[in-house]
Structure 1
Amino acid sequence: MPATPAPVIPSSLIEILLVEDSEPDVLLTQEAFEGARVPNRVHVVRDGVEALRFLRREAEYAGAPRPDVILLDINMPRKNGLEVLSEIKADPALGSIPVVMLTTSQAEEDVRGSYARHASGYVVKPVGFENFLQAIRAFEDFWMTFVRFPPRA
């Protein structure tokens, strides 16, 4: 039986952009990543307009790092996650960043719309503290241990 390959351990900090307007979900996500085996830093923005300013390093985000992965909620004020996803993937400077939709929406049109706009994944937020932590840890196991991210620009 062939040996299972060892996971790729990143040599540096993983930069995560969390685009989320729900304070309890922000706190749960931050807590889950604090216990991660892979060094990471979670940056939080509260809506789609702010997310695009962070990604484009505008105004107060002039010194923001390029994220390795984006966790993007769909239902947000000012600009929803599907609109943000479309803008990210249409921008040559940002389009290679993996975007995982992390949302309460189970609507088929949201799932289809996310993948049509080139989302890297679609995760429905589980109900309950332990289930939510378990989902974030599963994300960590895959995305932060086995996935190789595009080089930062």
Structure 2
Amino acid sequence: MSSNEEGEDERVNILLVEPNPGDTRLFTESFKDAKLKNSLYTVSDADAALDFINQRGEHADDPRPDLILLEPKLPGDRGMDVLSELDNEPAVSDIPVVVLTSSEVGEGIVKSKGVDADHYVQKPVEPDDFIEFVQEIEDLWIALIQEKPTEN
């Protein structure tokens, strides 16, 4: 494992938007098991996600997420609302969004709605694969940070 010298103690605030309590538990446990330097916050619907992202309501004191993991199949088919607001709202449009799909078909469905995410990652089917999946998310985050132009 390589360490990031300058930001060794910087936590990455990750927002997981996942309506399935079982998957949320697997994500949470896998993040703990992988011992990644991050803070994982979870919400289960579009309204809570938008409140968290915009730091309003009961999420007013929560940190702004550095990365959003979004299951697009939210109650009321509102996953597209979250993506759309993230695309169209300048204050939050720079937050990278990873859409969690269950298959390549899911990625196609999201794209067909005219909204695009930064990345698409297939969720693991087996609980044992979640640790590897979480490592993939961390690697993706590191790649995203290296892509970002730095402003000094």
Provide the TM-score with structure 2 as the length reference. 0.82
CA contact (8 A) 1:7 1:146 kept: no
CA contact (8 A) 2:110 2:116 kept: no
Look up the match of 1:88: 86
Q: Find the aligned partners of 1:106 and 1:48 in 2 and give their Cα distance.
A: 22
Q: Find the aligned partners of 1:101 and 1:49 in 2 and give their Cα distance.
A: 17
CA contact (8 A) 1:8 1:146 kept: no
Q: Find the aligned partners of 2:79 and 2:53 in 1 and give their Cα distance.
A: 14
Q: Runs of 4 or more off by more than 6 Å in structure 1?
A: none
Does residue 25 of structure 1 match 2:57? no
1:54-95: CA deviations, max 9, x gaps?
111111111110101000001111452222101111001000
Does residue 147 of structure 1 match 2:130? no
Letter in 2 for 1:148: I
Structure 1 residue 131, shift from structure 2 partner = 2.1
Look up the match of 1:110: 109
RMSD: 2.4
Q: Find the aligned partners of 1:79 and 1:57 in 2 and give their Cα distance.
A: 22
Letter in 1 for 2:121: V
In terms of fraction of residues, the more helix-rich structure is 2
Q: Find the aligned partners of 1:130 and 1:50 in 2 and give their Cα distance.
A: 29
Provide the TM-score with structure 1 as the length reference. 0.81
Letter in 2 for 1:133: I
Identity %: 36
Look up the match of 2:39: 41
Bigger relative CO (Cα 8 Å, ≥ 6 apart): 1
Q: Find the aligned partners of 1:138 and 1:112 in 2 and give their Cα distance.
A: 22
Look up the match of 1:3: none
Q: How many residues align?
A: 144
1:7-66: CA deviations, max 9, x gaps?
645341110000001011101111111133541110111111110011111111111101
Q: Find the aligned partners of 2:116 and 2:3 in 1 and give their Cα distance.
A: 26
